[in-house]
Structure 1
Amino acid sequence: MPKNSRFLSGISGLVLAAGSLLGSASVASPQRSEQIKSCFDHAHTYYKESGAYFSGVGKTTSDCANINIKPKTTRDVKVCFYPKNENSYCQDHYTTARANEWTSIAFDVLDGSEFSFLFRSDAQSDGWWAA
């Protein structure tokens, strides 16, 4: 085989390999969007009164891998966890959750974990959460 033929053969092999990798990535994308849709299909409402910093306690499910919030107004929020047989604890940093947008606050949380949202402001807040 001449040098140019081997070179072109090698290039076409790389193109085919890249194409199959890209093809497999695009197959996974619709599945991921279905998981996200399923998570938000099971959203709950929350209401935090003026003067309070914490929301009520929620519990994670197998519907979502993350703890997500969608406030009606932009809020800085973090998650506090209440593990069984251990001390409760909160995340170190607040995350800004934009009004009417889903924001993931905690990631890869175990199913059945009890949690609440801790807001930086004591202003009234309401919206949705999914976990």
Structure 2
Amino acid sequence: MRIRSRIAPIALTAVMLGGGMAAATAATASADVPKAGAQIQSCYGSAKNYTAVGDGSTAIWPAGTAWARTTSNCADINIKVNYNRHVKVCYRHGCQDYQYAKAGQWKVLDHVPNGWEFYLEFSGGNNGTGKVAY
């Protein structure tokens, strides 16, 4: 009986230490794996404020004859409008169809490689503001 009383605490201590090591190993292993949203956070973290300038029927960003150029920050063109808008992406070879973007929500407009020149066109012609990540 006395032997059992000595073995039980030792065995319990060994189990607890072993479990703690397994938990520490699992925590370390999971710290090395990037979280699913890490790339998205990085992409949106590089977002720029935009102001689209209108002429009565459409509004454009960037204004004038400027072009934006896709970067390695994102694998796509994303927009977050301040007001519900229809927006399309235009490239040197042509424009896509309008897509509906809801205020305050990120919208992926297109998946494109790095280095593509583009501009955004908003329907309605009113000036618009928001964020763009590309």
Shorter-chain TM-score above 0.5: yes
Other-structure match for 1:130: 133
Q: Contact 2:87/2:101 (CA < 8 Å) preserved in 1? A: yes
SS at structure 1 position matched to 2:43: helix
Match of 2:60 among 54, 58, 77: 54
Matches within 5 A, 1:35-50: 35-50=39-54
Say which is worse superposed, 48-57 or 116-125, in terms of deviation.
Answer: 48-57
Question: Which amino acid in the other structure matches residue 107 of structure 2?
Answer: T
CA distance in 2, matches of 1:49, 1:119: 9
Q: What is the CA deviation profile of residues 43-72 of structure 1, one whole-angstrom value per residue up to 9, with x for unaligned ones?
A: 011111242422112111111111000111
Larger Rg over CA atoms? 2
Runs of 5+ consecutive residues of structure 2 not aligned to the other structure: 1-29
CA distance in 2, matches of 1:101, 1:129: 11
Q: What is the CA deviation profile of residues 29-50 of structure 1, one whole-angstrom value per residue up to 9, with x for unaligned ones?
A: 9533000000000001111124
Matches within 5 A, 1:106-121: 106-107=110-111, 109-121=112-124
CA distance in 1, matches of 2:123, 2:49: 19
Other-structure match for 2:95: 90
Q: Over aligned residue pairs, what C-alpha RMSD do you find?
A: 1.8
Other-structure match for 2:76: 66
Runs of 5+ consecutive residues of structure 1 not aligned to the other structure: 1-26, 83-87
SS at structure 2 position matched to 1:32: coil
Other-structure match for 1:33: 37
- Structure 1-normalised TM-score? 0.68
C-alpha displacement at 1:100, in angstroms?
A: 1.2
Q: Contact 2:79/2:131 (CA < 8 Å) preserved in 1? A: yes
CA distance in 2, matches of 1:123, 1:32: 37
- The number of aligned residues is 97
Question: Which amino acid in the other structure matches residue 133 of structure 2?
Answer: A
Q: Which of the pair is proportionally richer in strand? A: 2
Matches within 5 A, 1:18-29: none
Structure 1 residue ranges, 4+ long, deviating more than 2 angstroms after superposition: 29-32, 49-53
Question: Which amino acid in the other structure matches residue 55 of structure 1?
Answer: W
Other-structure match for 2:103: 99
